Chains A and B, each alone.
Chain A
């Protein structure tokens, strides 16, 4: 029976080509616009560390002085500096209360391989501590990360990203080689596989969708050399933002992440944090009432509103656009089905039940949906290709994945079937006698 319906549908669709083409085009444009924008949103609001993110947390506290202190007026985002001071970061790091913990800051350095004639070039850098690699599960192609002992001994070592390794060493195992970083010699001990979590959750200051870092250097070593720091810094009181005395100044400029794999540990760490802040207040380092917070990774991204508002606006625009396209299709389908009242009348008079007429008309609507969906998919591929041509930082991430692919078809066929319900319902209710009489 279904085959027969398909044949009828094909025949009817062929009869009014312009109308059919218009319906398919409208559906395809709507689907294409929706899927393009939804895919971008999906990618941008995705989980940067799937499977791991639930146990990664971002502790925060408020070490500022009483100036401008207004707890009632402060919006939630102003209640805490976004980052930690060196003193607090080091205290938390050395207390080792979490499964893993890492303190970090970003930067930019000039890089050159030892003994090569290539001109130096700029590379983004991350100055961090040993746990960074195991905590975030960074994949290593060669070598290893450094150890806490190497952190403490301010080792002149470096882990480099895959892009940098390709550029400097043509992708070979470069462990043991030496590179110049801002004129200082560092020994390569590890090379990462391509690794670009999106969003760039561990440091949003250097760009929400910032690309792969070129070099990873122990924080202590980077501070020894006073390597150039990038990202935000917030100072209060006597804090001056002076680069050489950042360790002792009243400035928040470091990100601190912890891994806690069980809820009890999370609760315990929260207690530890509030005790820590209370203690700091008791000894007079903190002036404001002790205030701490610890969001998990996805909560932190939510809090920071990482998805650009233009992208959300585009999604709404595309959805509204799709709605207009659908209404348009309903109208056209209604016209098409009602035009065939005569034919429906004959079929009804010859014994076809209302249900079977309804089913047949819905099949026709579904076919429009299927073709529209396929065309829409091609359009969204094209749309995403256009997005990738844009010079924005997240452009290269915009790819259609399996989830979105399936969603496209479900939405396309579902939407057109729903669009077909009203016209099919109206058409199958024509009184056969009336239609036959008017002929």
Chain B
């Protein structure tokens, strides 16, 4: 295929050529950045929590009234939940993964340190917590029933025993011998690490202040009106238990609120709610990419069709002079390929520039080159696919056209 005649023909259609190339360049820049965002959000949404999330139900509960202590109410509720048919285990806590609200605190190894310590999420629980959550204990032991303390609202919790995640243990004790060591979460209250769990994430999905894998569990019942219960059910019993919970709880004590949106929830709903904004963004970006590619393809079809229509006579002449159909077809395909090539070269520069700009303005990661590569291939292929129909029409122009005037 000869490139030269194509180039000289393009020189006569400068405006159209530049417009198509520019459109391809912009589309490439937007599409590969958008797909990169989609990829990041999908990664985020697919992060694991360390929990066994199936057959798990979370309950937000607010006791109404102002008794001296809420502890007996919690105890009764726990007994009620644990004795429901189909329930494996249950416990009461201040927060859990993906709840999007919880406590953070600082861990220190030196009791008199002036520094802030390592920020970590803080969960309360009892000896039933690990079993209910379904997290794996990889070293040490679980709490025992006698270790659970009731802590008043005005007290600062600092249990003598704590369980931590492996990530936090490795951070505080890089030598890897955290088990049995003493740390300080509250002034003057030493806590011994009695167990290490493999993985358990913080309540937040944005890890701006606290690393998402740093968690401390304390054997504490926190005496306040708002509580979260977690309930593990037997496989296949989740629906039945889910339906039975409100009735069972209200039967024990009517003076409570199970909030409309944050009351009784299956854990899959907790997860869906935590990530709904990210999922929405990923869907939006995908739709925009799709529409953008469709519009660019339609634009190429439109402009190529016009060029074919404009050049019918010349095509006829070439055919009359002995050019085969395939020659005409490949002429238009090559022409599009050349334009698209210029477009993607400019587009790669734009894409990298755009990614740099988003990096500074939106605190995003830099675009990975894989996405640029995918984008380049996709747009070249799109161009070829879009030009195929007009090119085919061009190749069907009969040599007789040469003899006709328009």
Residues of A within 8 A of B245 (CB): none
Q: B242 within 8 Å of A by Cβ?
A: no
With A and B bound together, what is the CA distance between A309 and B361 in angstroms? Answer: 9
Which residue of chain B has its CB nearest to the CB of A181?
A: B64
Stretch at the interface among A49-57, A133-141, A330-338, A397-405: A330-338
Contact B15–A321 (Cβ < 8 Å):
no
Q: A122-B257, A317-B288 are in contact. List 18 more A-B contacts (CB 8 A).
A: A33-B288, A120-B256, A121-B260, A182-B225, A183-B64, A183-B65, A184-B66, A228-B224, A242-B153, A309-B363, A317-B30, A321-B291, A324-B23, A327-B23, A331-B23, A332-B302, A335-B16, A426-B15
A residues near B305, Cβ cutoff 8 Å: 335
Within 8 A of B (CB), among A96-125: 108, 110, 112, 119-122
CA distance A63 to B184 in the complex (A): 26
Chain B, residue nearest A329 (CB): B299
Q: Could you tell me the distance between the alpha carbons of A327 and B277 in the complex, rounded to whole angstroms?
A: 31
CB of B78 closer than 8 Å to a CB of A: no
Within 8 A of A (CB), among B259-289: 259-260, 273, 276-277, 280-281, 284-285, 288
A22 within 8 A of B: yes
Report if B34 contacts A (CB, 8 A).
yes
Distance in angstroms between the alpha carbons of A324 and B289 in the assembled complex? 12
Q: Indicate if A29 sits at the interface (CB-CB under 8 A).
A: yes
Question: What is the distance, in angstroms, from B344's C-beta to the closest C-beta of chain A?
Answer: 15
Given A244-B153, A324-B292, A331-B19, residue A317 in contact with residue B298 (CB < 8 A): no
When the two chains form their complex, are residues A438 and B406 in contact, meaning their CB atoms are under 8 A apart? yes
Say yes or no for A12: interface residue by CB 8 A criterion. no
Closest-CB distance, A425 to chain B (whole angstroms): 10
Q: Which of A321, A336, A391 has the most CB of B within 10 A?
A: A321
Specify the chain A residue showing the minimal Cβ separation from B254: A119
CA of A426 to CA of B30, assembled, Å = 29
In angstroms, Cα B26 to Cα A335, docked, is: 20
Establish whether residues B281 and A310, one from each chain, have CB atoms under 8 Å apart when the complex forms.
yes
| Cβ B303 vs Cβ A332 within 8 A | yes
CB distance from A310 to the nearest CB of B (A): 6
Least Cβ–Cβ distance between A393 and chain B, in angstroms: 10
Is there an interface contact between B30 and A324, defined as CB atoms closer than 8 Å?
yes
| A353 touches B (CB below 8 Å) | no
B residues whose Cβ falls under 8 Å from a Cβ of A: 15-16, 19-20, 22-23, 26-27, 29-30, 34, 37, 62, 64-66, 114, 116, 153-156, 224-226, 254-257, 259-260, 273, 276-277, 280-281, 284-285, 288, 291-292, 295-296, 298-299, 302-303, 305-307, 309-310, 358, 362-363, 405-406
CB distance from B300 to the nearest CB of A (A): 9
Find out whether the CB atom of A439 lies under 8 angstroms from the CB atom of B406: yes
Contact (Cβ within 8 A) A422 B15: yes
Asked if A339 meets B310 with Cβ closer than 8 Å, knowing A22-B302, A332-B303, A439-B406, the reply is yes
Residue contact A313 to B66, C-beta cutoff 8 Å: no
- Closest A residue to B298 using CB positions: A22
Contact B362–A120 (Cβ < 8 Å) = no
CA distance A312 to B291 in the complex (A): 20
A334–B295 touching, CB < 8 Å: no
A-B residue pairs in contact (CB < 8 Å), sample of 27? A22-B298, A22-B299, A68-B116, A108-B62, A108-B226, A110-B64, A183-B65, A228-B224, A240-B156, A241-B156, A242-B154, A244-B153, A313-B362, A314-B281, A317-B30, A317-B288, A320-B29, A321-B30, A321-B291, A321-B292, A324-B292, A328-B299, A331-B302, A334-B303, A392-B276, A392-B280, A426-B15
Q: DSSP majority for the B interface?
A: helix
Can you name the residue of chain A whose Cβ is closest to the Cβ of B20? Answer: A331
A245 to B65, CA, bound (A): 21
Q: Is the CB of B306 within 8 A of A119?
A: no
| A159–B309 alpha-carbon span in the complex (Å) | 74
A192 at the interface (CB under 8 A from B): no
Which residue of the partner chain, among A67, A317, A323, A339, contacts B309 with CB atoms under 8 Å? A339
- Render A179-212 as a binary contact track against B, CB cut-off 8 A, 1 for contact: 0101110000000000000000000000000000
- Kindly identify which residue among A244, A312, A313, A323 contacts B154, using a CB–CB cutoff of 8 Å: A244
Interchain CB contact (< 8 A) of A335 among B284, B302, B363: B302
Q: Which 10 A-B pairs have the closest CB atoms?
A: A335-B306, A331-B19, A183-B65, A328-B299, A110-B64, A120-B64, A242-B154, A244-B154, A183-B66, A327-B23
Q: Please, how many angstroms separate the alpha-carbon atoms of A327 and B29 in the complex?
A: 15
Complex contact A314–B306 (CB within 8 A): no
Give the most central of B64, B254, B291: most A CB within 10 Å: B64
By beta carbon, the residue of chain B nearest A37 is B284
Judge if A9 is at the interface, Cβ distance under 8 Å: no
Contact indicator B19/A334 (Cβ below 8 Å): yes
User: What number of A residues sit within 8 Å (CB to CB) of B?
Assistant: 56
Contact B16 A242 (CB under 8 A): no
A31 within 8 A of B: no
Within the assembled complex, what's the spacing in Å between the Cα atoms of A19 and B304?
12
- What is the bound-complex CA distance between A321 and B276, given in angstroms? 24
Instruction: Indicate if the CB atoms of B64 and A112 lie closer than 8 Å.
Output: yes
Q: Which residues of chain A come closer than 8 Å to B256, judged between CB atoms?
A: 120
Given contacts A120-B257, A324-B296, is CB(A228)–CB(B306) below 8 Å? no
> What CA separation (Å) do A332 and B23 show in the bound complex?
12
A330-357 at interface with B (beta carbon < 8 Å): 330-332, 334-336, 338-339, 342
Chain A residue nearest to B305 in the complex (CB): A335
Beta-carbon nearest neighbor of A324 in chain B: B26
**Knowing A324-B295, A331-B299 touch, does A67 contact B114 (C-beta < 8 A)?**
yes
Q: Smallest Cβ distance from A214 to chain B, in angstroms?
A: 13
Q: Do B276 and A391 touch (CB < 8 A)?
A: yes
Asked whether A331 and B16 contact (CB < 8 A) given A68-B116, A324-B30, A339-B310, the answer is yes
Per a CB cutoff under 8 Å, which of A25, A184, A328 touches B23? Answer: A328
| A252 in the interface (beta carbon within 8 A) | no
Write out the residue numbers on chain A whose beta carbons fall within 8 Å of the beta carbon of B259. 121-122
A334 to B299 CA separation, bound complex (whole angstroms): 11
Q: Using CB atoms, name the residue of chain A closest to B41.
A: A310
State in angstroms the CA–CA spacing of A33 and B34 once bound together: 15
- B30 CB contacts on chain A under 8 angstroms: 317, 320-321, 324
Q: Determine the distance from Cα of A98 to Cα of B26 in the docked complex, in whole angstroms.
A: 54
Bound Cα distance A29, B64 (Å): 51
Chain A 289-321 interface mask (CB, 8 Å, partner B; 1/0): 000000000000000000001101110010011
Distance of A110 Cα from B291 Cα, bound (Å): 48
How far, in whole Å, are A285 and B119 apart by their CA atoms in the complex? Answer: 28
Residues of B within 8 A of A312 (CB): 362
A172 within 8 A of B: no
Contact of A331 with B154 in the complex, beta carbons under 8 Å: no
Please name all residues of chain B whose beta carbon is closer than 8 Å to the beta carbon of A330 when the two chains form the complex: 19
A339 and B291 form a contact (CB under 8 A): no
- In the complex, whether A26 has a CB less than 8 A from a CB of chain B is yes
- Determine whether A271 belongs to the interface, using a CB cutoff of 8 Å to chain B: no
State whether A338 and B64 are in contact (beta carbons under 8 Å apart), knowing that A242-B155, A391-B273 are contacts in the complex.
Answer: no
Query: A331–B15 Cα gap in the complex (Å)?
Result: 8
A325 close to chain B: CB less than 8 A: yes
Q: By the criterion CB–CB under 8 Å, are A334 and B16 in contact? A: yes
Q: How far is the CA of A110 from the CA of B259 in the complex (A)?
A: 10
Chain B: minimal CB distance from A331 (Å): 4
Partner of A317, one of B19, B23, B34: B34
B322 to A: closest C-beta gap in Å: 25
Contact A119-B273, Cβ < 8 Å, known A228-B225, A328-B23, A439-B405: no
B307 CB contacts on chain A under 8 angstroms? 335
Taking the complex as formed, is A390 at the interface, i.e. its CB lies under 8 A from any CB of chain B? yes
A119 near B26 with CB under 8 A, answer no
B30 to chain A: closest residue by CB? A320
Are A338 and B310 in contact, with the CB atoms below 8 A? yes
Q: Choose from B15, B255, B285, B306 the contact partner of A120 (Cβ within 8 Å).
A: B255
